[in-house]
Structure 1
Amino acid sequence: MDPATEREELARAFLEASDFPPVTKDSLGELDIQSIIYNPKLRHDINYDRDLSFRPNLDGTRGQQKHAAARTYWLALKAELILYARYFQGTPPLPRSTRTVQCMQRRIPKMFETLREVLKSLVPARDHGRVDEHLDVPKLMQEIERGVCDLLRLSESIAHLLKEHCAPMRDVWVDEMVGFMRNSMETKDTGKLAKGYTEGLSHLLGILEAMKLDVANHQIRNLKTLLIEDSVNFERHYHLDRIVNRRSRVNVEASHQWFESALTNYQQICMPRKRNMMLLQLEVFVRVTISALFSKGPLNLPDTFYMDQDRLLVLQTEIEDLVCFEMCFVMLDQLVRGFGNHESTSPGSRQVLRSSLDALLSQSADRGLAQWMKNSEAISDELVRQARIFSSCPPTHDLDLLQRANTYLRSMLKERFYSHAADLESYVVLQVLALVNRHIYSPPMELFNSLVPATISHSSTPPPLFGPTNTLHSQPAPFSDISNRITHILLLHWRIWGPIAYVQDEQDHNSTTEVLQPRSSSTTTTSSSPPPPPRVLPPPPAGTNLDPAVVTSMKAGEPPDNGQEALEFAHRPPSYQ
């Protein structure tokens, strides 16, 4: 970049950038223990993810905007440092005025104040005096004006403090930060000096953010059992509070009507009425929700599912993929017979085909039926190739066969998708109902341990008979994983929303209470068993520094609501390693 363009960019950034750095005490506030405890989305999501943790939320358009804003800020800070050098130490000297100094000092004082606030939130109270001594803002600004501010010494002092409290894995970052400061001292060029200081300060803020993330993720790990066990209690209080105060996004009446309609449509196909009403209602709820997952078009479920919307959309896409795999296995058998081989394809051959098609489709940003249609030519080519291999036919290129195979595959995907989906739905419904029956009284932590996989793997063992028609060709693992995830979502959802939105009259509410209160997994229960005693939350794990009032508020499940969504951080597998 030529000097004139660079000066113009620095001037624009100085005028337009935020006065505060990209990382502040307020922006890190949602990583505080109180914010974690009262974050309803995290409290819900932690039930479904073994590796849930915070990371900077830099995805999508918002992430790009934050990245651009941060770049503009650091350019503005560089411009401000250059202005200091020219105004206070330049030759010839410039006329000075208090107003000019105030206009010029827009960011550096706030940067030092931010560093002080964030550092004090990360170190024990006994070290707050050291932080105040190192980051005495008026003193630092006087030193800058006189040209005697030693930012290298300051960075070394902060580095020593950080290494006492941060994880050893961060020591390399701390040394890099000091290195930026040290290298900048070796130049006499004002622009390069300002650039080095800016890079060092940017790196320092990145370290502080990473330390805050480390602390937050450590707290999540320590409190995971407590948070999961209290999920139903917390979410019921949270949703009821918002409904009562007319701040809920959920239309309870519409949700109740949705469930009443489901009762009318599904109770005849459920098991005989000799069961109690609670079990009938739960089975209807299971069937209507799974039907929505397998239905054509957008996912049509009430507002009560808003916290599980993303999970359900992922499941819907995976279900479409499984149905498409099933049709490909059928077509593979037909191609094999066309090559004169009347043996059924082996589970191993189907697994090889699945892996090949997975690799082919992984190049697409999205999955689902639309991507299978888009990639039908490549998929049909792979099907013909695999059929030749299984039939021990020479690998010849038959253009007419490839075209006919592609036409046939597209026809199957268009015309037979939902008949194959119905076969899979019937199997998944039975599997989910069996899991619901097994876990109907399991506490949330037992659901987590039983239904959340550590890793998702595909079995290579032969599939069982899936019914009298035996139409499914996939290995059982993909179906089991989907059934486990559906069961987990539905059981927690029913316990939370059943008495709030679906079963509202007094008689049905009483009959539903039983399923909403988990029992000890060691006790065998039936629908006629007496109701369980009140559940007592476990104490926080040893070594967890948690105010007793915080634990009390967790048990009460009454979070304060500031009406804002968490935007700065996403609770996902961390990007910092």
Structure 2
Amino acid sequence: MEYGLDPHKNKSGGGISGPRNHNFNSNTADRSVSSSTREHSPAVEPPVTKTTLSELDVNKIVNNPKLRHDINFDPDLHFRPNLDGEKGRRKTQRANDFWNTMKAQLRSYIMNRDQFEKELVIDGEWCLPSTLKAIRGILETLVPQRDRASVEDTFNVELLMQQFRKGVADLEKLALWLSQLLKCHCAPMRDNWVDEMVTQLSNGDRNGDVQLLVAGMQNLLGVLEAMKLDVANHQIRCLRPLLIEDTVHFEQKFFMKKIALGRVDIAGAHAWFRRASSLPDILSIEGTVHTQGNTWDFIKALVYLILPSKSSEMVPHTFLFDEERLIKLRSDMLDLINLEVCMYLFRNLDTQCRLQESLYSILDDTPTTSSLVTSRPASPADDPILSLATLPEPSHFSASQSKHLSQERGQFIRTPGGRQVWVPRVEESHIVSSATSSPRSSPSSTASTPDTSPPTAFSLSQPFTDSAPQVRTSLLDILSSSTTNDKWAALAPALGLQILRSTTTPLSHLPQFESHLAFHLSNSRSRVYQEAEARVLGQLAPILQKLIETYTPLTSLQIFEGATTPRTLPGTAVLQVNGVKEEITEIATRISHIGILHWRVWAPLAYLVDPDVEEDPEAQPERAKNKP
């Protein structure tokens, strides 16, 4: 695996960004382009050759199933050198060994040519001619036919080696010819790199400086590799519409061969889909008739699959190309749910403080000591500030109640655990979204502490707090300071302090509140967490339903354009104005895109056919089309 796919566009426009800097690390795991490249001894073969670069040939691109799937989801997908992880470290080490070997060989040749050539008869080919052959081979793949004759005449490896042995090789002249040739075909951004290569080869030849000569050849190979990457990335951009439009046909043809060979477990995938109809109706939408039938059952099962509370659920083998995307979705769902837990506890705490202040100001207008409990409770349930049910404000019983009615509209939905929870309508929810996007990380581990703290019921509408958006923004800022897999556990104390400081609660209650918060975060056994999850699903459902209805009649390319270039969906303008969480909309878009494309590929291959029936795999898609 010499090259990987990177979803983040390089600042310089793709490929390699500058001289002698091939170490492009990315937070996104590489996708393998090919694993068939043979490994050779680093002592005789340069790190970049025509063979290693063949992975970037257009015929390899159009026949790479993983690339053709990933290109549907990322408009900035491009190739880059694969130097990540342990394999990348070994590849870098082999390259360094090769260039060090070349330096040692050139010095030995200059000091005692006869002795070096005697040893060469025993050891075989050495680094210099193998590098020249690699350069010649790569040049032939990069230049058009009209320049091939010039390459054959000027870059004749046997002639160059004869001139080198006789001490008459003019590397400065060769470098200038290479400069003119490369600048005719490479991007202008590579010109400075080419000039550096010319300077190193010329000065190295003129002064007999082995260090400069080797650096010049190293840069020459680097420029050639960058040019090949530029060509491959340009081909991806040009071929993208055709590749995306042909995704379903290509993948069905590819996977039918795998199914025939028994390499894909469609029986397990079929059983997983059959169980979808019996899943809790976590996406119920009042008054909505789902005309998509089996498609909506599949989407419901997909949403159920990415819930952090269902992380033990076995992912069907049919999702093998989407595994990373599902992991990311589950991580982002955990972020949203935990943020909902934080904001709920903040509003609960803030309401208690405001209510107590209001009651005491009515009963007694003389200064008194704080009525908050000062002794440390034995458990979160013993702290009235943290565990008492939310009480309605006097405004709920006043004549001005009408202005709060928009927050009362909603519906009861059932949590995965079977409890009913009141969820306000998304477009009228008082949960205010921050403009900051949700931080991304892997899901944290689930706490195992039993749920001993009776949470405040979500069925009571919590009064709107003007400071809620600022609190949420401050929590997001704290979360953005960490990218570790267990960031929620690591940052729980800081989050608890920020929430407590945003209310009038004395800081003496911080230890209890930190314990209270840490218990509920990422804890699928906590009722507060379960109800926060239900609220997130309640906000997700109408947006997801609208997207499924919008995307279903579209082509794969139209879905790609709609999903990667967000547009306001019909009937959602009001929702956007009223502050629907853009994080929810983004997640719904990703679920819809992955789900519809996956359904189109796999419904006729696994989900709508009985895998126990003996049948020609190529006949299954036609039979599935006729199923209701």
Deviation, 1:408, is: 2.1
Does residue 233 of the first structure (1) align with residue 258 of the second (2)? no
Deviation, 1:366, is: 3.2
Match of 2:217 in 1: 201
Does residue 438 of the first structure (1) align with residue 458 of the second (2)? no
- Asked whether the equivalents of residues 343 and 468 of structure 2 are also in contact (C-alpha less than 8 Å), the reply is yes
- Asked whether the equivalents of residues 58 and 64 of structure 1 are also in contact (C-alpha less than 8 Å), the reply is yes
Deviation, 1:186, is: 5.5
Mapped partners of 1:174, 1:352: distance in 2: 52
Superposed, which structure 2 residues align to 1:366-515 within 5 Å? 366-367=484-485, 370-387=486-503, 399-413=507-521, 414=523, 415=526, 416-453=528-565, 475-505=580-610, 513=625
Deviation, 1:293, is: 0.6
Is there any run of 5+ residues in structure 1 with no aligned partner, and where? 1-14, 89-93, 467-473, 516-526, 528-577
Match of 1:547 in 2: none
Match of 1:357 among 436, 454, 475: 475
Residues 192-242 of structure 1: CA deviation (Å, up to 9, x unaligned) = x22111111111111111111111111111111111111111111111122
Mapped partners of 2:117, 2:148: distance in 1: 35
Residues 527-569 of structure 1: CA deviation (Å, up to 9, x unaligned) = 9xxxxxxxxxxxxxxxxxxxxxxxxxxxxxxxxxxxxxxxxxx
Which is worse superposed, 333-342 or 296-305?
333-342
Does residue 76 of the first structure (1) align with residue 101 of the second (2)? yes
Deviation, 1:268, is: 12
Superposed, which structure 2 residues align to 1:161-310 within 5 Å? 161-185=181-205, 187-188=207-208, 193-246=209-262, 248=263, 250-265=264-279, 279-294=292-307, 295-298=309-312, 300-310=314-324
Distance 1:72 1:95, change over 3 A: closer
Question: Which secondary structure does the structure 2 equivalent of 1:55 belong to?
Answer: strand
The amino acid of 1:55's aligned partner reads R
Question: Which secondary structure does the structure 2 equivalent of 1:279 belong to?
Answer: coil
Mapped partners of 1:289, 1:241: distance in 2: 25
Does residue 117 of the first structure (1) align with residue 137 of the second (2)? yes
Distance 1:503 1:112, change over 3 A: same
- Asked whether the equivalents of residues 270 and 283 of structure 1 are also in contact (C-alpha less than 8 Å), the reply is no
Question: Which secondary structure does the structure 2 equivalent of 1:177 belong to?
Answer: helix
Match of 1:138 in 2: 158
- Asked whether the equivalents of residues 200 and 216 of structure 2 are also in contact (C-alpha less than 8 Å), the reply is yes
Question: Which secondary structure does the structure 2 equivalent of 1:318 belong to?
Answer: helix
Identity of aligned residues (%): 33
Residues 173-197 of structure 1: CA deviation (Å, up to 9, x unaligned) = 1011112223334645xxxx22111
Match of 1:48 among 73, 92, 96: 73
Question: Which secondary structure does the structure 2 equivalent of 1:364 belong to?
Answer: coil
Match of 2:171 in 1: 151
Mapped partners of 1:173, 1:281: distance in 2: 56
The amino acid of 1:261's aligned partner reads R
Mapped partners of 2:499, 2:567: distance in 1: 28
- Asked whether the equivalents of residues 109 and 116 of structure 2 are also in contact (C-alpha less than 8 Å), the reply is no
**TM value normalised by structure 1:** 0.73
Residues 334-392 of structure 1: CA deviation (Å, up to 9, x unaligned) = 3433553889896564444344333322333335xx3212210111122233446xxxx
The amino acid of 1:380's aligned partner reads G
Match of 2:11 in 1: none
The amino acid of 1:206's aligned partner reads G
The amino acid of 1:33's aligned partner reads V
Match of 2:3 in 1: none
Question: Which secondary structure does the structure 2 equivalent of 1:375 belong to?
Answer: helix
Mapped partners of 2:122, 2:128: distance in 1: 11
The amino acid of 1:423's aligned partner reads R
Match of 1:518 in 2: none
Mapped partners of 1:231, 1:210: distance in 2: 28
- Asked whether the equivalents of residues 283 and 300 of structure 2 are also in contact (C-alpha less than 8 Å), the reply is no
Residues 151-187 of structure 1: CA deviation (Å, up to 9, x unaligned) = 2322221111000111111101101111222333464
- Asked whether the equivalents of residues 266 and 284 of structure 1 are also in contact (C-alpha less than 8 Å), the reply is no
The amino acid of 1:239's aligned partner reads F
- Asked whether the equivalents of residues 174 and 204 of structure 1 are also in contact (C-alpha less than 8 Å), the reply is yes
Does residue 21 of the first structure (1) align with residue 126 of the second (2)? no
Mapped partners of 1:311, 1:330: distance in 2: 28
Mapped partners of 1:98, 1:441: distance in 2: 73
Which is worse superposed, 218-227 or 309-318?
218-227
Residues 114-149 of structure 1: CA deviation (Å, up to 9, x unaligned) = 101101101101111211223211111112222222
TM-align CA RMSD: 3.5
- Asked whether the equivalents of residues 462 and 475 of structure 1 are also in contact (C-alpha less than 8 Å), the reply is no
The amino acid of 2:314's aligned partner reads N
Mapped partners of 1:186, 1:340: distance in 2: 83
- Asked whether the equivalents of residues 489 and 518 of structure 2 are also in contact (C-alpha less than 8 Å), the reply is yes
Structure having greater relative contact order (Cα 8 Å, sep ≥ 6): 1
Mapped partners of 1:417, 1:18: distance in 2: 58
Residues 98-129 of structure 1: CA deviation (Å, up to 9, x unaligned) = 56346264221111111011011011011112
